[in-house]
Amino acid sequence: MTTPTFADADAALAKNDYEAALTILERIDVVGEDACYRRDIQAAACADRLRLYPLCEEYATRAHSYGDDMADPFALMARAQRRQGLATDAAATASSGARIHPNNPAIARELALALVALGRYEEARGPADLATDTYRNDIELLMAYGRVWEPVNPDAAQWAFRLANKLNPDCEEAKTAYDSLLRPLRGAGRSSYQIEIQPPVAAAYRTMLRRVRAVVTTAGKFAAASGVCCLLFYVCVARSLFPGARWGVFLLYIASVIGVRAYMAAQISMFNRTLPRGVRLSFMRLGGRFPELRAKAIACVYAVVIVGFFLICIMSGIS
């Protein structure tokens, strides 16, 4: 069997086959510090891609022992430590690298993310600025950038959250953060981000949004079904027992439709109970954040009116 070489590893990397590349690199016999550094730093990068963070840290540490003035080992060690939940160690490692490589964006990225994880926002602003200039498509970094700048520069935070939301429209965290600055809760001032990232508020917001979406999505069908049921009740029961019952049945239909609106109002009210005094979310503000909800709500109103019109016409014709 032939001995694997760096060319084999490079071929596997060109195919984005990081598992195969890592296996090849682990089997390569190398001589000399430069070759050892190349093998270990590439193996660390492959382990990072494979989310094998303890192995990544091990290889990056070995690479650092061969090239203690190189930037890549610092960035990979700090990232591996941060991914393992060792934010303090990651901040210390990245800080050491930043002293040697003050303008390296990869190290600045890891330093910013580690400091954000530790809640040291003021210290994270400089590294976040440096890293964001290079990594404009990094959603994790953009979210951290927005978080550290939101208290002092909401416009900069809104730019970062908007870009993160644009890069990944399905990212709920980015969408909520962007909305908290573009359409903040009433009474919260320029931004409601600090309020909405609180775990109880965030959990209540997700629950409320899920339930309101479910109701709005089916409200039109519910109106139609309610109209049919009221018509059948009128034809089979109410018409023969109560003279002029069509108006009572029509009011029953209206009550059932109002019940849907009352349910949505109750969900929003329950969410508002988790907010500080004087801060609240209205259905209009929620519709501004989610235009599809507003469009479905308007369509539901049309459906209610049309079904109600045909219901009273049919009952009047039968009478």
pLDDT in tens, 270-312: 999 999 988 999 888 888 888 888 888 888 888 888 888 888 8
Average pLDDT over residues 123-152: 91
Phi, psi dihedral angles at 185 (to 5 degrees): -60, 145
Single out the residue of 69, 64, 65, 21 nearest to residue 78, CA to CA: 64
pLDDT score, position 88: 94
Residue type, position 293, single letter: L
Across all residues in the chain, what is the average pLDDT? 88
What percent of the chain has a predicted confidence (pLDDT) above 70?
98
Whether 204 has a pLDDT exceeding 90, the answer reads yes
Q: Which residue has the tokens 């009210």?
A: 269
pLDDT score, position 235: 81
259-279 burial code (b ≥16 CB/10 A, e <16): ebbeebeebbeebbebbeeeb
Phi, psi dihedral angles at 226 (to 5 degrees): -65, -40
Higher pLDDT, 3 or 145: 145
pLDDT score, position 1: 52
What's the fold here for domain 6-187?
1.25.40
Task: Give the span between the Cα atoms of 214 and 187, in whole angstroms.
Answer: 27
267 pLDDT tier (thresholds 50, 70, 90): very high
pTM: 0.78
pLDDT score, position 237: 76
266 pLDDT tier (thresholds 50, 70, 90): very high
Question: Is residue 201 within 8 Å of residue 195, measured between CB atoms?
Answer: yes
Q: What is the residue extent of each domain of the chain? A: 6-187, 199-318
